[in-house]
Amino acid sequence: MGVSIIRPALVKSVDLYEGGEQTLHLQTENSDKTIKARWVIDASGVRCLLARKNNWYKPNPSHPTLAAWTRWKGVKDWDDANLAEKYPSLSKNYVGIRGTATNHIIGDGWWAWWIALKGGDTSIGVVIDQRRAKWPPEEEPLGEKIREFLSSHPVAREMMDGAEYIEGDINFRRNLPYSSSVQSGDGFALTGDALAFIDPFYSPGMDWIAFSTMAAVNLVMAWRKGENIQVLSDKLNKQFAMSYQRMFEALYLNKYDYLGDYEIMRLGFRLDIAFYYSFIAYFLFKDGEEGFKEIPFTSPQATPIFALMRLYNSRFAAIARKRREDGRFGRLNSGQRDLFPGFNFNRSFLLKIITKSLFAWALLEIKEGWKSWPVFNLNTANDQAIEEGEPSQA
């Protein structure tokens, strides 16, 4: 038995025959090869080999994001003593090492990651909602576009001062999110980015890889035991389609509308992470491998949690849009620091975070959120229509 590795090799195409042998057409260093196998697992990443060939690939135009990233040399250390002396507030009240952590910088409709790499390089990437932020003109080199865009943020500008990007390791993708309408069948399964991608914020792709890979393993093992594969595959296809849509609506739909507003984003962050720890990570920690059989947001018990998360996410986005219209977006950003102690699996601790954050959301609705409620927007639209001599659409 054992495993045979063919490298280098390029999979040119795959012919699927449900219930039979699958055929892979490979291009190797010396010749072309054809391999037959009972099972094929597509882990081709964003290439989405099976989804694109079989017309399962579905873009998500409701979330028009763009990402650009590269490696840099000479990026300043977050914990550098010279920076602390130059900007005392940067290290004030903070205990820890930031230089080896993943750091984020957030602006109006965009965010950026800073990840320290082995050897001293730093991975810097930016993700923007193309409806909210403007990407630099096409004629500039991509590395310079990243520098130019991030230089609008004072912290990013300081950290990148004197840094140089590494040629040949520059990446760009437009319109990031997509999904496959099919996750598996009798003889194949899609995993990770080959199955779907939503957004790098919160790194949900790591969860997607884990759940889809475990689903593929369980499917193959069920086949080896002689179980009805079609029934299990149909169930997984429905669950992953539901999980993707619900995760998108609960966490990401119009989220970039409130990225950049400290007060709103602070609430959204705490609720998002607390619910994740309470209803996803907790059960993986508690149940181990068995926990991966519960695809996120698909159980009946998850429905009210999904509805609540979708509601507060949509309300935060609406409040942010209203603030932007009134010129009040980000009004409380200056001098703010949310030095949160972190999260753990203590259920009472998580419940306390959720309760306090929901109460703060309720106060926000009473204070100003009502201005963006649909009924008030409808009345405003009717008043404008009447002033312009148009019939009311109420």
Reported as a single tens digit per residue, the pLDDT across 2-48 is: 788 998 999 999 999 999 999 999 999 889 999 999 999 999 999 99
- Segment 215-244 mean pLDDT: 96
Assess contact for 296 and 255: CB atoms under 8 A.
Answer: no
Question: What end-to-end distance do the CA atoms of the chain give, in Å?
Answer: 71
- Segment 65-94 mean pLDDT: 90
Q: Give the C-alpha separation, 389 to 347, whole Å.
A: 57
Same domain for 275 and 155: no
- Segment 200-225 mean pLDDT: 96
Q: Give the C-alpha separation, 367 to 385, whole Å.
A: 28
Banded model confidence at residue 377, pLDDT cuts 50, 70, 90: low
Residue that finishes a domain, picked among 157, 174, 191: 174
Q: Which residue has the higher pLDDT, 92 or 308?
A: 308
pLDDT of 73 = 96
Banded model confidence at residue 378, pLDDT cuts 50, 70, 90: low
Residue that finishes a domain, picked among 126, 147, 174: 174
Same domain for 261 and 145: no
- Segment 361-385 mean pLDDT: 75
* Residue 392 in this model has a pLDDT that exceeds 70: no
Close Cβ partners of 357 (under 8 Å, ≥ 6 residues apart) = 267, 270, 271, 274
Same domain for 394 and 258: yes
Q: Is 195 inside a domain boundary?
A: no
Q: Is 327 inside a domain boundary?
A: yes
Same domain for 391 and 266: yes
pLDDT of 363 = 97
Q: Is 143 inside a domain boundary?
A: yes
Q: Give the C-alpha separation, 156 to 151, whole Å.
A: 6
pLDDT of 265 = 96
Same domain for 370 and 271: yes
The tokens for 73 are: 């040399």
Q: In what order do the strands lie in the sheet with 32-37?
A: 9-15, 22-28, 32-37
How many helices (H) and strands (E) the chain has is answered by 11, 14
Same domain for 276 and 375: yes
Residue 259: what are its φ and ψ, rounded to 5°?
-65, 130
pLDDT of 374 = 83
What is the percentage of the chain residues whose pLDDT exceeds 70? Answer: 95
* 49-65 pLDDT per residue, tens: 999 999 999 999 999 99
- Segment 162-173 mean pLDDT: 94
Average pLDDT, the chain: 91
Same domain for 169 and 283: no
Same domain for 386 and 263: yes
Close Cβ partners of 370 (under 8 Å, ≥ 6 residues apart) = 376
Residue that finishes a domain, picked among 174, 197, 217: 174
Q: Is 47 inside a domain boundary?
A: no
* Residue 383 in this model has a pLDDT that exceeds 50: no
* 252-261 pLDDT per residue, tens: 999 999 999 9
Same domain for 162 and 264: no
Q: Is 86 inside a domain boundary?
A: yes
Q: Is 356 inside a domain boundary?
A: yes
What CATH number is given to the structural domain containing 100? 3.30.9.100
Range of the domain at 388: 254-394
Locate tokens 């009447």: which residue?
A: 386
Give, in order, the Cα–Cα distances in Å from 172 to each of 109, 128, 197, 204, 226: 18, 12, 15, 19, 45
Name the domain count of the chain: 2
Banded model confidence at residue 88, pLDDT cuts 50, 70, 90: confident
**Cβ density class 239-248: b for 16+ within 10 Å, e for less:** bbbbbbbbbb
- Residue 72 parent element (H or E): strand 65-73
* Residue 242 in this model has a pLDDT that exceeds 80: yes
Residue 369: what are its φ and ψ, rounded to 5°?
-60, -35
* 246-283 pLDDT per residue, tens: 999 999 999 999 999 999 999 999 999 999 999 999 99
- Segment 90-109 mean pLDDT: 86
* Residue 353 in this model has a pLDDT that exceeds 80: yes
pLDDT of 300 = 94
Q: Which pTM does this prediction carry?
A: 0.91
- Segment 324-337 mean pLDDT: 91
Assess contact for 57 and 175: CB atoms under 8 A.
Answer: no
Banded model confidence at residue 157, pLDDT cuts 50, 70, 90: very high
pLDDT of 384 = 39
What is the percentage of the chain residues whose pLDDT exceeds 90? Answer: 81
- Quickly list DSSP for 73-130: ESPPPTT-HHHHHH-GGGTTT--S--TTSEEEEEETTEEEEEEE-TTS-EEEEEEEET
